[in-house]
Amino acid sequence: MRELLVATKNQGKMREIRELLKEFDVKVTSLADYPNCPDIVEDGKTFKANAIKKAAIIGKYTGKLTLGEDSGLQVKALGNKPGIYSARFSGEGATDEKNNSRLLSELRKVPTLKRQARYRCFAALCDGKKLIGVVDGSCGGVIIDKRKGANGFGYDPLFLIPRYKKTFGELDPLIKAKISHRARALRKLKAMLVKYLR
């Protein structure tokens, strides 16, 4: 069985990625399975740059087919912050709880109608020697002023999908798996994988 190494330690992301790629006859592993891999400094100026860097460095180090993924939240009223700093928005020792609190604090004076946001995701595939390709996906929503729901991770309890009148935190994971930024990016990645694995 072929192996696809996902260059992340984030278990929330791994759950979603494994589910989205379950139809493939590949063993999906993560950095938790390769504890000696180098730490990646996410110093790219864009999600795309960080995704490529993760895939390239881990792919070259392990010689494995590697998926590098970078994603985050962009809030229009905040000039697209937190953006690439989504996971560490609240500074050193950032947690989902602290990041959500900072986001609510920064949006304190912004009315709901002006709280448009979108999740972005870029995924890069590298075979250890070369970059195979990069795909992206996005999902639009609105940031509400109180956390709702216990599903998902990150900013999901604050990210409302108007069509469903629910946050990602409340939404059925099966629905999220069809409409999320990561789902949209990985649908494109599947086509790339099919060609590569033939």
Q: Which two tokens stand for residue 98?
A: 């602290």
> Could you tell me where the DSSP H helices lie in 25-160?
47-62, 96-106
Rounded to 5 degrees, φ, ψ at 68 are -105, 130
8 Å CB contact between 141 and 86: no
70 is a catalytic site residue: yes
Give 179's DSSP letter: H
* Helical H segments across the chain, by residue range: 11-20, 47-62, 96-106, 173-179, 181-197
Active site residue: 25, 39, 70, 156, which one? 70
Pairing of strands 26-30, 2-6: parallel
CA pair distance 86, 180, nearest whole angstrom: 16
Which positions are annotated as active-site residues?
70
